[in-house]
Structure 1
Amino acid sequence: MATPHGYSPPPPGFGGGQRPAATALYGPHLDGDTMPALYEELRGTHGPVAPVTVAPGIDAWLVLGHRELLRVARDEQDFSRDPRRWSPLRDGRVPPDSPILPYVAWRPALLFADGQQHRRMRAAVSDALARVDGHELRRRVRSAAEELIASFAGRGAADLMPHYARKLPLLVISGLLGLDERPGRRLVHAISRVGGATSDSGRASRRINAILHALIEEKRSRPGDDITSALLHHPARLTDEEVLHNLLVMFIAGHQSTVDWIATTLRVLLCEPAFRSSPTSGHLTADDALDLVLWRFPPTQNLPARYATRALRFGGQSIRVGDMLILGLAAANADPAVLPPGGPATGNRSHLAFGAGPHTCPAQDPARLITRTAVDTLRQLLPDMELAVEQSELAWAPSPWSKGLTALPVRFTGPRPSRTPRTDRAGPGTTRPGHPAAAQTGEAR
């Protein structure tokens, strides 16, 4: 009988074999420059599935192969999304201050569910996202982008990370969820404190809950044209707790990944010779740059996690019940079996940057629209923009999970007048980015 790629039945008496030596998938030395070499070293040593540690004393498997990752992402029967199946967590071997815990702790959200529970919550999230009008979203992104560009255009130079890439998704996504700009900023700050495993983590978690509870209460009594209202009034009848945690997942996944997608696309357009042309000339387009980023520099490098529901032989390794498997999205994209070194990465959207299977990100269309509009608006208003430092000075933030720049300094002579009519910014029936009535993102792959 034929078996799926990467899988063979476990041998008799399977489960007691010795685990191969693991490589640490954490530490300040891991950044966007060092990670690709690490993936290839692990692939050469272990094959498509490699043993790693994701925190001190916490073992996992990193899935590097493209076909193997598809198998893990698509098969809920053997690889569950529910972290309550994770053996170290069930056995009390994960310290409460472990740095991996914020990434994998169970919540009543679609990201941590399988089967019918997942389908019920995903239906609500997908329907809420489907209500987002693309033309209106593009207008909101452009309006917010113009205001941000106006705030630094007169200086002739700017660091696009803090002044543009980090601010724009906050404004847009907060508006989509129905949050005002100020609570949106408070939410970003609180989320950043939770992941630090510091004494402030508990307080930050309570602040997050308070912000989202207040939003839910407001939208339950006064619904608007936003994702929160759509979730609250969907036929799936999500509880307030389910709405809260799905909003949190959408905000976390949508904000950081969009920040990094915008900034890295701008880096490609500024640095890659094939893209150094005016917005209206040249053969390679901004869409090509967006696709190249998703292939070569996906904003999410590695995604935790799946949990083996039974012992099996997979990718040449002996997987035990309750083992954690990390989806190596960047490594799988670079698998020589599907993309030979130097192979084309434009005009091709078969990458795994948005995941695969039941948990494929449902927000990739609005995410792309936001990123494309952010990039286009900046290039149109500052057409002579160029790097203010040598390309070699651009650094990636240290992280095994995401791939984002620490800074993106540019210089320019001045802004080109906007072509957006002033009447498009306000008026009856329109809203500004960040306004509660404004209605991205979704499941983190």
Structure 2
Amino acid sequence: MAGPPPGCPAHGLGPGGLRRLYGPEAENLSAVYEELRDEHGPVAPALLHEDVPIWVVLGHSENLHMVSTPTQYCRDTRQWTALQDGTIKPDHPLMPLVAWQPICCHAEGDEHLRLRGAVTGAMSTINHRGIRRHINRSTQHLVNKFCEEGRADLVAQFAEHLPMAVMCQILGMPDEYNDRIVHAARDMLKGTETSIASNAYIMDVLMRLTARRRAEPEDDFTSHLINHSARLNDEEVGQHLRVILMAAYEATANLLANVLRLVLTDPGFRAQLNGGQMTVPQAVEQSLWDEPPFSTQLPYVAKQDTELGGQRVRKGDGLLLGIAPGNVDPRVRPDLSANMMGNRSHLAFSGGPHECPGQDIGRAIADVGVDALLNRLPDIQLDCDEAELRWRTSILNRHLVELPVRFEPRPKQDVTAKPGHLSVPAQRTDWQVGIGQPEPAAPVPSPQPSAPPQAAPVPAEPARPMGAWRRFLRWWRGY
């Protein structure tokens, strides 16, 4: 029997009349979430790929309760009934994201403390000032590739590359940064038939890195993770590197694109930024509310029969952390146009025991990257109508396909000079307050008695040397 025609109320429904969160029927997931909210309230039943049942948590407080109550909900996917009974098959497109792994995200209790402690311990060794300088230099390097053209796509040429360049540096594998690893990272999160192959490539890169650093440790995140007192084995190290790389890369690539889109399409937003009423970090937080890098996170699993948002949730049921729908819950944001400046209670980085440990790195990449780009290309403008912008939507996120821009062509900048090695004018020993340094006067013959008196020449004001504050800013930004 033929399916319902497009536009029919039954279109996009699966077994049991449940709404699908995938496929052409769910190209606008934000609208689907609002329909679910209207029909079921803050927690709603729905279907993942291949019609796997899932609870979608739509309410802000319900999401916070779920992530903050480890006695009732966990992230150990081995307890998910859909995996236990074979509903989710080994070749399921979301398998790389939901299969259990020996990582802190899927652990509980003492094991979670051991693995999470290793990750946060390695994070604590990161030189954040040095990373900010590396972010700036990487930004200048990327801008150099298109600054002379006067046009660029800030998604493909900037937002998708800067986070990977920075993360490869942090992990200790800068030589692995190239177009192939960027493409694999993008493909792996799409839930397509090639996702498994892309995941295998990423894991091969990371396991080779683990073997190298096990044999020859250096001062990088991977070495500190290996040498932590938690004594992670090679598989645990490789899997943690994978989840850190992918989460940081995807989240920050989307965050960069979203912040830049806001700057380029919202005149009021850009005016506040240019006028000093809003800083780049505040702009980033606003974007984390309105367009979080990850729309959802999956799955949480109910450890016992419980109740959430008026729904009876059974032991072993899977639940979807609804980041994007939770951020627009009308109970906490009745006016979506209201400025959320300074408010960090969004769900963009989850919460509870599994809150993102690398969120400060993501914020730094967005803060420094956007600021450096706008300083380098202050006249940058969107090169299409806003209505022409397109997104690629998946269960995990809403990814901007391209962001075409135009600007006045500019020459490349030298990004090879290291901070702290810039030439500084020699210190002067003959400062005089309030006057310039006079030039040496040439001998003047004595005037004849009949000659009128001559006015003394006014010494030229020398060029003002660069002050300490300006030199500090250049050093901090890596110029």
Alpha-carbon deviation of 1:30? 3.6
Return the alpha-carbon distance in structure 1 between the equivalents of residues 179 and 137 of structure 2: 19
CA displacement 1:1-35 (0-9 Å, x = unmatched): xxxxxxxxxxxxxxxxxx9742111114545xx23
The Cα shift of 1:186 comes to 4.2
Question: 1:399 aligns to what?
Answer: 394
Q: Distance in 2 between matches of 1:281 and 1:360?
A: 34
Bigger Cα displacement from structure 2, 330-339 vs 195-204: 195-204
Note the alpha carbon deviations across 1:175-218, whole angstroms, 9 max, x for none: 10111333665444444555567775565444333222211111
* Equivalent position SS for 2:46: strand
Shift in CA distance, 374/301, structure 1 to aligned 2, threshold 3 Å: same
2:52 alignment counterpart: 58
Q: Report what 1:299 is aligned to.
A: 293
Higher Cα radius of gyration = 2
Name the counterpart of 2:380. Answer: 385
Aligned partners of 1:279 and 1:383 also within 8 Å: no
Code of the residue aligned with 1:308 in structure 2: it is: A
In the alignment, is residue 373 of structure 1 matched against residue 374 of structure 2? no
| TM-score, L = length of structure 1 | 0.86
Q: CA RMSD of the aligned region, Å?
A: 2.4
Deviates more, 1:35-44 or 1:229-238: 35-44
| Aligned partner of 2:69 among 66, 75, 79 | 75
Query: Quick one: distance in 2 between partners of 1:419 and 1:186?
Result: 26
In 1, distance between residues paired with 2:18 and 2:193?
30
Q: Secondary structure at the match of 2:165?
A: helix
The 1-side partners of 2:192 and 2:378 are apart by 44
Find the aligned partners of 1:347 and 1:198 in 2 and give their Cα distance.
Answer: 37
**What amino acid sits opposite 2:353 in the alignment?**
P
Cross-structure match for 2:341: 346
1:42 matched to 2:36: yes
Paired residues of 2:76 and 2:100 also in contact (CA < 8 A): yes
Separation in 1 of the partners of 2:413 and 2:272? 17
How far residue 86 of structure 1 moved from its aligned partner, in angstroms, is 0.5
Shift in CA distance, 343/416, structure 1 to aligned 2, threshold 3 Å = farther
Deviations 1:88-133 (A, max 9, x none): 2111221222222222111111111122111111111111111111
Q: 1:311 aligns with which of 288, 292, 305?
A: 305
Q: Is the 8 A contact 1:381 1:417 kept in 2?
A: no
Q: Give the aligned partner of residue 23 of structure 2.
A: 27
Return the alpha-carbon distance in structure 2 between the equivalents of residues 366 and 277 of structure 1: 27
Q: What's 1:284 paired with?
A: 278
1:264 shift after superposition: 0.6
Consecutive unaligned residues of structure 2, counting only runs of 5 or more, are: 1-14, 423-479
Question: Is the alpha carbon distance of 1:204 and 1:353 closer, same or farther for their aligned partners in structure 2, counting shifts above 3 Å?
Answer: closer
- Which has the larger displacement, 50-59 or 195-204? 195-204
- Residue aligning to 1:108: 102
Matched, 1:132 2:153: no
**What SS is found at the alignment partner of 1:384?**
coil
Aligned equivalent of 2:8? none
Task: Please name the residue that 1:364 is paired with.
Answer: 359
- The gaps in structure 1 that reach 5 residues or longer are 1-18, 428-445
Identity in percent: 37
Q: How many Å separate the matches in 1 of 2:196 and 2:25?
A: 28
Alignment check: 8 A CA contact 2:188 2:198 kept: yes
- Counterpart selection for 2:316 from 316, 319, 322: 322
Which segment is superposed worse, 222-231 or 284-293?
A: 284-293
**Cα distance in 2 between the residues matched to 1:415 and 1:168:** 20
Deviation at 1:279, TM superposition (A): 6.0
Change (3 A) 1:56 1:376: same
How many residue pairs match? The answer is: 407
Query: 2: distance between equivalents of 1:390 and 1:421?
Result: 37
Distance 1:168 1:272, change over 3 A: same
Bigger relative contact order (CA 8 A; separation at least 6) = 1
Name the residue aligned to 2:439: none
Q: 2:138 aligns with which of 144, 159, 162?
A: 144
Using the TM superposition, name which of 329-338 and 20-29 deviates more: 20-29
Question: Cα distance 1:308–1:274, how it changes in 2: closer, same or farther (>3 A)?
Answer: same
Who is 1:172 aligned against?
Answer: 166
Paired residue type of 2:208: A
1:118 to 106, 112, 115: 112
TM-score by length of 2: 0.80
Distance change >3 Å, CA 243–CA 65, structure 1 → 2: same
